[in-house]
Amino acid sequence: MSELINKVSQFFSSGIIDLFIGYKKGRLGEGKPAFFTKPEQLNELIFDENCIVNLAVYLRKPELKKYSKIGVLANFGTLRALLQLAAENQIADGQYLILTVADGKVLEFANLKAIEEYVANNLPKPNPERIAFLKEIESKSREERWEFWTRELASCIRCYACRAACPLCYCEQCLVECNQPQWVGVPPTGMGNLEWHIVRAMHLAGRCIGCGECEAACPMEIPIGFLTQKLNMAIISNFGQVPGTKLEPDYALSTFKVDDKENFIR
Amino acid sequence: MEYKLIKLEKIQDFINALIASGKQVLAPKQKKEKVFFSLVGSFDEIAMDYIQTAFSAKSAVFPKCEELYTFEKNGKDTILHNPPAPENDTIVFGMRPCDGAAFDYLTTFFLKENPDYHFKMRYDKTIFVGLTCSSGDEFCFCTSVGISPSDTRGSDLMLTKTENGYYMEIITEKGKKLVEQFSNFFEQTEQIDKTKYTANIQKRFDSSALKEKISGAFNWERWEETSLPCFGCGTCAFSCPTCTCFDIQDEANLVGGARYRIWDTCALGIFTKHASGHNPREKQSERWRNRILHKFLYTDEQFGTLSCVGCGRCIRNCPAELSIIEQVNAIMEG
């Protein structure tokens, strides 16, 4: 940890950064998001596998505009979110100083291309427990799946914590807030909840980097991460596109190609 | 006041008899990792050993979504219908004293000046059975806001677990009626000192000192710095026993529909967004400030009461682990 603290401390003293977003010890010993503006605060800085919050979610906060350069301590999910945000023209190369810690060593990424290479070489295998759960849902009949999801989503209170926690949900105005016309029912009733979660999942299909923050933030313990995960698996197997791994836009659901094999699109 | 005792082995029969009589029993129930107030079909579903439910008992009378009225078109007329009043009583069982104390505030807010039809309709049909806290955790701070972990405020009946069974204080007429209806489950007993059975909840700040400090805190320069980890999920407000803000939404088709009241929160940007596009609370730090000042200053000015009961839900539920206790102490430090 001292290497990390020394390094970040140097970035501060040489004027390279004036804000560093990292983690400090949380209530159960895991990492919680922390914002450092002075090197003397850095003794609280930690980083380990229990630092799971995706810090990319903070980069859209207007409060951060006053800082001239921000450093981010990125876990793997944060790195993938940064790549996806870059592919969607939401962040620029060199805009942030990005660090991670791998095998006990601090890595400073020279540019987004370096993150792309790092992510390509370290892409983890899907969590077998989650795959098993998805398989279990898939094995159910259509009626059983409908029953499962309507029951789960009935408890949704429409707080939109899933949206707030998602690093890729950055729209200034969310579709659910549009009331002329009102596309999605706002009251947390059965149909409105279903519509909201379908909309959310479809907007993240092929963009979701699978960090799990939506599910972690859900105060009602709804397994919403499986919706985007399932759609992503379909996109990966049909189009070979893995979100949050490439700097070039590569997005199955909004790409138009004149030589598309489907006739309806021409 | 009258006192009764329910033997440990009788509590199960009492709850099951309540359910069998057609009353709805809303009680703590384990979901995955959290405990929620849920309607239960038998005593076995109730989680008796828990520190705090993830959401408060307010949903019994102020649900996340309720029909204000329905409407239908009839030629050129529109006919409105009030929602039907609940037929059966609801028993909120196992409510913590902090949630009970929250009803002091909720009833002031909803019933004092212009009684709210929908709130009253539910409140009149709800019986609150409180449960003294025998333990707390580091996020409990009821004693800092003038509430005790065995407080009977807001409860119709109050249970305290002792070695002989559940000691019960009969607080209100409503509670007394219920006890009379199910009298065979109870034994007569003398008043006891509850201290031995009550959790020791540490004081985390001095609310009278805070009162002096917070009145000038609107322009405090650290609001932004202390709220940076907040990404605006609103879970603090949704799970808060005293947050009362709501939105009104219609769902309709060409022939009719319904008008709903749903929970809302000042944590969301759209909460204060004007039709012009201007937002007086543009940044999350301004929304966070509003929440803190509302709890500790605005309702004190308006109703003469704080609107924080120290239940700790906003701390336990916060995905960024922000703490209202730390926030208050930071304000005290200046």
Of A37, A57, A187, the CB nearest to B260: A187
Count helices and strands in chain A by DSSP H and E runs: 9, 5
CA distance B118 to B84: 10
CA distance A142 to A140: 7
CB atoms inside a 10 Å sphere around CB B144: 20
The residues in A 138-197 lying below 8 A from B, measured between CB atoms, are: 157-161, 164-165, 177, 185-189, 192
pLDDT over 80 (residue A1)? no
Q: Which residue, among B71, B76, B74, B29, has the nearest Cα to B54 in the 3D structure?
A: B29
Average pLDDT for residues B232-250, to the nearest whole number?
97
Tell me the backbone φ, ψ of residue A142, rounded to 5 degrees.
Answer: -60, -40
Whether A86 and A93 have beta carbons less than 8 Å apart is answered as yes
Instruction: Give Cβ neighbours of residue B57 (< 8 Å, ≥ 6 apart).
Output: B26, B37, B92, B95, B96, B99, B100, B102, B128, B241
* Averaged pLDDT of chain A: 94
Tell me the backbone φ, ψ of residue B195, rounded to 5 degrees.
Answer: -50, -45
Q: Does B119 touch chain A (CB under 8 A)?
A: no
* DSSP structure string for B172-239: SHHHHHHHHHTGGG-EE-----GGGGS--PPP-S-HHHHHHHHTTGGG-TTHHHHHTT-----HHHHT
Q: Does B260 touch chain A (CB under 8 A)?
A: yes
C-alpha R_g of chain B: 21
- Please tell me the predicted confidence (pLDDT) of residue A259: 82
CA distance B214 to B329: 11
Average pLDDT for residues B261-288, to the nearest whole number?
95
Count helices and strands in chain B by DSSP H and E runs: 11, 12
- Please tell me the predicted confidence (pLDDT) of residue A119: 98
CA distance B290 to A50: 32
Q: First-to-last CA distance in chain B? A: 45
Average pLDDT for residues A82-106, to the nearest whole number?
96
> From the candidates A21, A156, A157, which should be mutated to test the interface with B, based on the most B CB atoms within 10 A?
A157
pLDDT tens string A218-244: 999 999 999 999 999 999 998 888 999
CA distance A76 to A99: 11
Work out the angle between the directed axes of helices A190-204 and A142-154 (0-180°, nearest 10). 100
Whether B9 and B76 have beta carbons less than 8 Å apart is answered as no
- Please tell me the predicted confidence (pLDDT) of residue B109: 96
**Is the Cβ pair A217, B224 closer than 8 Å?**
no
- Please tell me the predicted confidence (pLDDT) of residue A266: 66
Q: Does A44 touch chain B (CB under 8 A)?
A: no
CA distance B186 to B7: 8
Average pLDDT for residues B206-217, to the nearest whole number?
94
Average pLDDT for residues B257-266, to the nearest whole number?
97
Say if pTM beats, i.e. exceeds, 0.80: yes
Residues of B in contact with A77 (CB under 8 A): none
CA distance B110 to B305: 14
- Residue A229: both structure tokens together: 């995960």
Instruction: Give Cβ neighbours of residue B295 (< 8 Å, ≥ 6 apart).
Output: B242, B306, B307, B308, B324
Work out the angle between the directed axes of helices B324-333 and B284-293 (0-180°, nearest 10). 90
Tell me the backbone φ, ψ of residue A108, rounded to 5 degrees.
Answer: -110, 125
Of A27, A35, A187, the CB nearest to B229: A35
- In the block, tokens 């990792």 appear at B33
pLDDT tens string B53-92: 999 999 999 999 999 999 999 999 999 999 999 999 999 9
Tell me the backbone φ, ψ of residue B69, rounded to 5 degrees.
Answer: -165, 165
**Helix, strand, coil percent values for chain A (each to nearest 5):** 45, 10, 45
Q: How many CB pairs under 8 A join A and B?
A: 93
CA distance B304 to B204: 22
C-alpha R_g of chain A: 20
Q: Does B320 touch chain A (CB under 8 A)?
A: yes
* Averaged pLDDT of chain B: 96
Q: How many CA atoms are closer than 13 Å to the CA of A253, on its beta-carbon side?
A: 15
Nearest CA in chain B to A182: B251
**Of the listed ranges A174-178, B146-150, B265-269, B324-328, the one predicted with least confidence:** A174-178
- In the block, tokens 């876990």 appear at A75
Task: Tell me which long-range contacts B77-86 makes (C-beta under 8 A, separation of at least 24).
Answer: B82/B117, B83/B118, B85/B121, B85/B125, B86/B24, B86/B121, B86/B122, B86/B125
pLDDT tens string A162-221: 999 999 999 988 999 888 888 899 999 888 999 999 999 999 999 999 999 999 999 999
pLDDT tens string A102-148: 999 999 999 999 999 999 999 999 899 999 999 999 999 999 999 99
Domain ranges of chain B: 2-63+86-197, 207-245+265-333
Whether A226 and A134 have beta carbons less than 8 Å apart is answered as yes
Q: How far is CA B30 from CA A166, B37, B53, B224, B317, in A?
A: 27, 9, 9, 36, 16
CA distance B172 to B178: 10
**Of the listed ranges A24-28, B224-228, B295-299, the one predicted with least confidence:** A24-28
The two beta strands, A105-108 and A96-102, are antiparallel
For residue B137, give the DSSP letter: -
Tell me the backbone φ, ψ of residue A96, rounded to 5 degrees.
Answer: -125, 155
pLDDT tens string B17-33: 999 999 999 999 999 99
Average pLDDT for residues B309-330, to the nearest whole number?
97
pLDDT tens string B86-110: 999 999 999 999 999 999 999 999 9
- Please tell me the predicted confidence (pLDDT) of residue B333: 94
**Is the Cβ pair A219, B54 closer than 8 Å?**
yes
CA distance B58 to B123: 10
Nearest CA in chain B to A27: B321
Whether B98 and B310 have beta carbons less than 8 Å apart is answered as yes
Nearest CA in chain A to B258: A187
pLDDT tens string B148-184: 999 999 999 999 999 999 999 999 999 999 999 999 9
